[in-house]
Chain A
Amino acid sequence: MYVAVKGGERAIDNAHAWLAEERRGDTSVAELTVAQIREQLALAVNRVMTEGSLYDPDLAALAIKQARGDLIEAIFLMRAYRTTLPRIGHSHPVETDKMACDRRVSATFKDVPGGQVLGPTFDYTHRLLDFKLMAEGEVPEAAEADPRIEPTPHVTSFLNKEGLIQTEVEGDETPPDLTREPLELPANRALRLQALTRGDEGFILSMAYSTQRGYGNSHAFVGELRIGKVAVEMDIPELGFAIEVGEVELTECETVNKFAGSKVEPPQFTRGYGLTFGQTERKAISMALVDRSLRSKELGVEVSNSPAHDEEFVLYHCDNIQATGFLEHIKLPHYVDFQSEMELVRKMRAEIAAESVQEAAE
């Protein structure tokens, strides 16, 4: 029997009104503006854009405010908004070798053309709480030096000159799009990369960490990590040529792994790739490690039973919106489901009790 029940409308309305009040907090404290979040919580904004799969800093900041700082809830809001947008088109692949780099480091080559540029990094800070930030005050201006105008070449292009690194063959095939077709396995690398970019930072980080600790053993070096702005070009049908429709800040990470060679390939370095919106380098490095791990089969490297080698495990569990949707639905009313399970447990108990009475009698 199916019993439909109604009710709770007043309770829900009141709960949402209270949520709004709690979101505002103590009214004697000034209200946060969206611009403040965008400017001063930029790394949260970047994460919400990357996993929300939509580059729009104002919207991401609004989502963070609305979600009271719950970033997965904010990502959910971005994804929901994204689905309402008509698709104008797609861009040409961004040219990251032309990036205006705020940061560019290589852990493999000390003296790369363009140099090691640290940028606004947390690295080398002491991770001690800075109580000065509790007081309002002017920030000293950052130092300036002779700006580099010419683009900074990719580090891997130097290794490539010796043929020591596997080459990425340029192609122009239309990549599959997760937002248009459901994820089907086996996925090609283009689809995997899209899923990893949108994937949960914590999950991708843990998967990457597991490969470093020995589950699907691979030892990666960060060949290059760069952060900066790149122009986004798109073909405009009414013009008959492409124009820049904007520019996005990206983090790009290229990892290299030693590869002993196979029947068809000589010993060389293989590559992992991470590309994310904004300054999100933990995510980009993690993505590169997981990308490389999931390429094991196509590279002819031994595939273990480790989670990070399992495409299905990684791709079906990396999306925090899918995960949170399924996880959190179990808190919603399951009265009828549970009632039927309770009936079943009662029945099983009664049967066991009846059997033991019978055994005792025998």
Chain B
Amino acid sequence: MGKAEAALSPEQEARRAWMGLLAKSDAAHLAECLGAVPALPSFDWLRRPEVGGVMVRGRMGGTGAPFNLGEMTVARCSLRLETGEVGHGYVQGRDKQQAEQAALVDALMQGPRADELRDAVLVPLEEAQVALRTARAAKAAATKVDFFTMVRGED
């Protein structure tokens, strides 16, 4: 966790959560959810979609000093709605359209249509991610070893 996080306002904390959700979303699922939202506003680009690398760091021994592990691909863009809200899209991978959609959702979540967007996009994305995570955790749990002691033959 970043050091600055302790100082985040509730609005920043909420934005942090939805941006993280959008970053990890399935591109097709995001497109499907946003496709069902009517009358999407037009916007101007502040930064056109671009693909780049983020150097992922680890810590020695899991807890020690940082080191560079390797990069991951990230697509990002920034836009301004005609109503003035600025949206940033950061998504894992190289899908520029997904970055655009993430930025659009980010911008709309700051305006009067936030509730509509939450129900149409964020909730289903969150549910899908939780379902996926829970399914894997359930399969992992089924491979947990139950030790039992065999009858010892010493007596």
Contacts and interface: CB of A to CB of B under 8 A. Distances in A.
A142 interface: yes
A152 to B, nearest CB: 10
Kindly state the interface size class of chain B when it binds its partner. Answer: 35 or more
A118 B145 contact: yes
B61 interface: yes
B141 A144 contact: yes
A70 B127 CA distance: 39
B141 A147 contact: yes
A175 B2 contact: no
A93 B2 contact: no
Interface string A108-124: 00110001111110000
Nearest to B88: A238
A247 to B, nearest CB: 6
B113 interface: no
A7 B53 CA distance: 39
Interface string A73-117: 000000000100111111111111100111100000011000111
A168 B56 contact: no
B73 interface: yes
Interface string B57-94: 11111111111111111101010000000001011111
Kindly state the interface size class of chain A when it binds its partner. Answer: 35 or more
A271 to B, nearest CB: 5
Interface string B138-151: 11111111010000
B55 A90 contact: yes
Interface string B12-26: 100110011001100
Q: Is the interface of B mostly helix, strand, loop or mixed?
A: mixed
A7 B50 CA distance: 40
A171 B58 CA distance: 12
Contact of A175 (B15, B65, B92): B65
Given A88-B54, A103-B140, A273-B60, A54 B71 contact: yes
A172 interface: yes
A309 interface: no
Contacts of B92: 232, 245-247
Interface string B91-104: 11110000000000
B120 interface: no
Contacts of A238: 78, 88
Nearest to A155: B62
Contacts of B51: 85
B1 interface: yes
B65 A171 contact: yes
A53 B72 CA distance: 8
B20 to A, nearest CB: 3
Closest 4 CB pairs of A and B: A246-B92, A168-B64, A147-B137, A244-B20
Interface of A: 49-50, 53-56, 58-59, 82, 85-97, 100-103, 110-111, 115-120, 142-149, 154, 156, 167-179, 189-191, 193-194, 197-198, 228-229, 231-236, 238-248, 250, 252, 254, 271, 273, 275, 277
7 contacts: A85-B51, A86-B53, A154-B62, A170-B59, A172-B65, A277-B69, A277-B70
